[in-house]
C-alpha cells in the first residue's frame, strides 16, 4: 500500500458543528502532517507529528485539534469553525524525520474539501 | 531559513510545444528539492526530487529538472507537453535537517490544442 487516504472527500458543516477529518497511511511512515490549502495558493503547514508526538504547531487556532492515535492514523478535530476556514485540507506522511533521514519527502493524500457555512 | 520563488504564476503553451517552469530557492544550508503536481480537485503528487548525486533528475512522464547550485535554481522542463499536463506545479525545498517543506507559490501550466 503506497498511498495516503483521507476521509471524507467533502464536508459541509455549520459554525456550531463538531466534525473530524481522518487520514491513514500504511507505508510505515513515522511522520504525518496536516496542511490547509486555499484556492490558487500553496499548502500551508498546520501540524506535524513525528513518532506519534506533536512536533510542530504552526500557531493554528484552537478550533483545530489534531490527534495521532497511532503511527498509521492522524485525525483533525474541528469545532466552531469560521467560514474563512473553508479550504482543502491535505494530509501527508514521510518515511522519517528530517533530523534522522536528512531529508523530508512527503506523500500527500487527495484531501478533504471543507465548506463552513 | 529557506524560501522558494516561482516567478511565473501561469504559463500558457500549445500542445507538443516545449515548456520550462522556473524555480529559484535560497537557503543557508544544504537543500533537497522537489516538484509536486496538483491536478484540479486533487492532492499533490510528487513529480521528481533532487536529494544528491546527478544534478539532472527525470520523471516517468517526460519531465526533467536540473539542480544548479551556482544559480540556486531547479527549473522543470518538458520537451513536448500534452493536454493532460494542465495542472498546478509547486516547487518545494527542504533544508537538511529541517522537517518542513517550503513551497513556492505555484505555476499553473495551461496546455491548449
How do residues A63-87 score in pLDDT, each as one tens digit?
Answer: 999 999 998 999 999 999 999 999 9
In this prediction, residue A102 carries a pLDDT of 64
Closest-CA residue of chain B to A96? B99
Rounded to a whole number of angstroms, the distance from the CA of A98 to the nearest CA of chain B is 5
- Counting one residue from chain A and one from chain B, the pairs whose CB atoms sit within 8 A come to 68
| Higher per-residue confidence, B54 vs A99 | B54
Would you call A45 and B100 a contact, using CB atoms and an 8 Å cutoff? yes
pLDDT confidence tier of residue A92, bands split at 50, 70 and 90? very high
The yes-or-no verdict on residue A98 having pLDDT over 70 is no
In this prediction, residue A61 carries a pLDDT of 94
Lowest-confidence region among A52-56, B7-11, B102-106 = A52-56
In this prediction, residue B1 carries a pLDDT of 77
Q: Which residues contact B102 (CB under 8 A, 6 or more apart)?
A: B2, B3, B4, B92, B93, B94
Amino acid at each position: 500500500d503506497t498511498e495516503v487516504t483521507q476521509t471524507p472527500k467533502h464536508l459541509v458543516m455549520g459554525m456550531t458543528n463538531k466534525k473530524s477529518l481522518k487520514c491513514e497511511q500504511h507505508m510505515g511512515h513515522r511522520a504525518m502532517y496536516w496542511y490547509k490549502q486555499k484556492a490558487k495558493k500553496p499548502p500551508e503547514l498546520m501540524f506535524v507529528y513525528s513518532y506519534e508526538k506533536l512536533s510542530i504547531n504552526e500557531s493554528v487556532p484552537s478550533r483545530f485539534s489534531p490527534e495521532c492515535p497511532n503511527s498509521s492514523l492522524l485525525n483533525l478535530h474541528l469545532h466552531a469553525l469560521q467560514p474563512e476556514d473553508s479550504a482543502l485540507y491535505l494530509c501527508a506522511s514521510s518515511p522519517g524525520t528530517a533530523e534522522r533521514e536528512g531529508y523530508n519527502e512527503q506523500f500527500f493524500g487527495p484531501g478533504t474539501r471543507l465548506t463552513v457555512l | 531559513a529557506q524560501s522558494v520563488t516561482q516567478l511565473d504564476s501561469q504559463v500558457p503553451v500549445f500542445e507538443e510545444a516545449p515548456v520550462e517552469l522556473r524555480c529559484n530557492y535560497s537557503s543557508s544550508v544544504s537543500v533537497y528539492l522537489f516538484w509536486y503536481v496538483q491536478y484540479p480537485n486533487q492532492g499533490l503528487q510528487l513529480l521528481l526530487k533532487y536529494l544528491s548525486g546527478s544534478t539532472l533528475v527525470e520523471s516517468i512522464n517526460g519531465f526533467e529538472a536540473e539542480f544548479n547550485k551556482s544559480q540556486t535554481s531547479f527549473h522543470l522542463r518538458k520537451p513536448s507537453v500534452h493536454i493532460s499536463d494542465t495542472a498546478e506545479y509547486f516547487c518545494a525545498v527542504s533544508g537538511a535537517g529541517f522537517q518542513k517543506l517550503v513551497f513556492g507559490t505555484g505555476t499553473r501550466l495551461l496546455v491548449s490544442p
